[in-house]
C-alpha cells in the first residue's frame, strides 16, 4: 500500500532534525577539548559543580552541549519526519509551542541558526491544515466491499 507523504511536515521534521544534530555536534566540538576530560574524571559530581544557580565553566559546558536541548530536538524532528512520511502531521500544539520557545529563546539570547525552527513550525502548520488523500483500500478491504 502506498501512502501519500505530507511534504510540508517532512520538510519541517528534516529542519528540526538538522537543528538538533547541528546544535549537539557544534556544541560538543566547542567544549569537549576543554571540558570533556573533567566530565569523565567525575568533576560534575563535585559539590562546587552541583550549584544549579551558579554554573562553573565545567557545568555550563555540560549543559550547553551534552545535556542541552539538542538530543530532544533531534528526537522531535525524527518523530515529525516519521509522521510526515506516513502522510500525517503532529498536533498543532507542537509547532506552536516550538515556535513560542524559539521566539523567547532568540529574544533572550540573540539571533542564531535556531530561527530555522520558525520555518519548521510554519511548515508543520501548513502540513496540518492540508487534507491528505485517504490511502487506497487494502485487498482485504476491497474484497469485503464486493457483494
Cα(56)–Cα(42) distance, integer angstroms: 14
Residue 83 pLDDT: 96
| Residue 27 pLDDT greater than 90, yes or no | yes
Q: What is the mean pLDDT of residues 19-40?
A: 96
What does pLDDT average to over the chain?
Answer: 90
Angle at 126 between CA 120 and CA 131, to 5 degrees: 140
Number of H helices, E strands in the chain: 6, 0
Q: pTM of the full predicted structure? A: 0.83
Q: What is the pLDDT of residues 37-86, one digit of tens each?
A: 999 999 999 999 988 888 999 999 999 999 999 999 999 999 999 999 99
Residue 52 pLDDT: 82
pLDDT band (50, 70, 90) for residue 4? confident
Q: What is the pLDDT of residues 105-125, one digit of tens each?
A: 999 999 999 999 999 999 999
Residue 1 pLDDT: 44
- Residue bearing the bigger pLDDT, 56 or 130: 56
| Residue 16 pLDDT greater than 70, yes or no | yes
Q: Is 88 exposed, middle or buried (0-12, 13-18, 19+ CB in 10 A)?
A: middle
| Residue 2 pLDDT greater than 70, yes or no | no
- Residue bearing the bigger pLDDT, 117 or 140: 117
Amino acid at each position: 500500500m502506498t501512502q501519500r507523504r505530507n511534504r510540508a511536515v517532512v520538510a519541517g521534521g528534516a529542519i528540526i532534525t538538522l537543528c538538533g544534530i547541528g546544535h549537539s555536534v557544534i556544541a560538543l566540538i566547542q567544549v569537549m577539548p576543554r571540558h570533556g576530560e573533567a566530565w569523565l574524571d567525575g568533576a560534575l559530581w563535585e559539590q562546587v559543580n552541583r550549584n544549579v544557580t551558579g554554573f562553573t565553566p565545567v557545568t555550563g559546558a555540560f549543559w550547553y552541549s551534552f545535556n542541552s536541548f539538542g538530543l530532544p530536538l533531534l528526537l522531535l524532528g525524527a518523530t515529525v519526519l516519521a509522521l510526515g512520511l506516513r502522510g500525517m502531521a503532529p498536533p498543532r500544539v507542537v509547532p506552536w509551542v516550538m515556535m513560542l520557545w524559539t521566539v523567547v529563546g532568540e529574544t533572550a539570547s540573540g539571533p542564531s541558526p535556531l530561527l530555522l525552527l520558525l520555518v519548521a513550525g510554519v511548515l508543520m502548520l501548513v502540513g496540518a491544515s492540508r487534507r491528505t488523500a485517504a490511502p487506497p483500500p487494502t485487498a482485504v478491504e476491497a474484497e469485503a466491499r464486493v457483494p
